[in-house]
Amino acid sequence: MPTTRRNFLKHSAASLAVGSLATIALGAQPSSKPAAAAPKPDSKPDSKPDAKPMTKPAAKPTNPAPQSLSVLILGGTGFLGPAFTDALLARGHKVTLFNRGMREAKRREANRPSQVPDGVNVLFGNRDPEKTADDWRSADGESKTRPESPKGLHELEGKTFDAVMDTSGYYPRHVKASAELLAKSVKHYIFISTVSV
């Protein structure tokens, strides 16, 4: 199967980021084998209307890191997130995603398989400290937000991680809010930016 430019970029970025975690967080030399992100199977959900979406099986460590890290990915279900998640799991790290839950909810509604592998912890909230995880629903005209929906970064308070991979910082104020909240409870904060920040 030919590699697309998009897949090449995703897997290259994931390998570099995961490799930098080993070097930075552990003070270790990078492995002689690069951390490879597992390719995604081209599977489709059962076409029956009442069929439940398939869950993505957890990746088995193929090139375990010298030490397992607890890594938080802000976002995690978009362009780079799934490749990072797969690469981290392939190295034997523990992965937590923090997002609004929008993509996974839309995938369930469309009877599509989950992007989140088994064993990955998911916390819900919003990068904007003034909004709830459900604010996307009212913006999409779906329904009003639920009162119990987590607000802002609340779900991250009191949690500790070895590293954070921030791939969803669209506004400087969002990055500042998460960096300030996590400053004392995270050893390394890796921010992957675009020209928009």
Q: For residue 96, give the 3-state DSSP assignment.
A: strand
pLDDT, residue 54, reads 52
Number of Cβ within 10 Å of residue 65's Cβ equals 21
Any domain includes 174: yes
Q: Are 74 and 164 in contact (CB under 8 A)?
A: yes
Average pLDDT along the chain: 76
pLDDT, residue 132, reads 86
Any domain includes 41: no
- The rounded percent of the chain whose pLDDT value lies above 90 is 35
Query: Is the pTM value of this prediction over 0.75?
Result: no
Domain hosting residue 163, numbered range:
55-191
Total number of domains in the chain: 1
Any domain includes 38: no
What average pLDDT does the segment 120-126 reach?
Answer: 93
Lowest-pLDDT range, 11-20, 113-122, 176-185? 11-20
Any domain includes 108: yes
pLDDT, residue 149, reads 82
**Side chain identity at residue 124, one-letter code:** F
Any domain includes 149: yes
Residues 163-184: pLDDT tens digits? 999 988 888 899 999 999 999 9
Quick one: DSSP state of residue 112?
Answer: -
Lowest-pLDDT range, 75-89, 109-123, 128-142? 128-142
149 vs 182, higher pLDDT: 182
pLDDT-based confidence at residue 130 (cuts at 50, 70, 90): confident
24 vs 78, higher pLDDT: 78
Q: Is 27 left (phi over 0), alpha (psi -120 to 50) or beta?
A: left
pLDDT-based confidence at residue 21 (cuts at 50, 70, 90): low
For 121, residues 6+ apart whose C-beta sits below 8 A from its C-beta are: 94, 95, 96, 97
CA angle 172, 81, 124 (to 5 degrees): 70
Would you say residue 79 has pLDDT above 50? yes
Would you say residue 71 has pLDDT above 70? yes
Which ranges in the chain belong to alpha helices (H)? 5-26, 81-90, 102-109, 135-139, 172-182
For 130, residues 6+ apart whose C-beta sits below 8 A from its C-beta are: 151, 152
Buried b (16+ CB within 10 A) or exposed e, 126-155: bbbbebbbbbbbeeeeeeebeeebbbbbbb
Would you say residue 196 has pLDDT above 70? no
Any domain includes 125: yes
Tokens of 193: 């930016």
Domain harbouring 68, CATH code: 3.40.50.20
Any domain includes 94: yes
Half-sphere exposure of 191 (CA within 13 A, CB side): 14
Any domain includes 184: yes
Would you say residue 26 has pLDDT above 50? no
Q: Are 8 and 79 in contact (CB under 8 A)?
A: no
Residues 44-58: pLDDT tens digits? 333 333 334 455 666
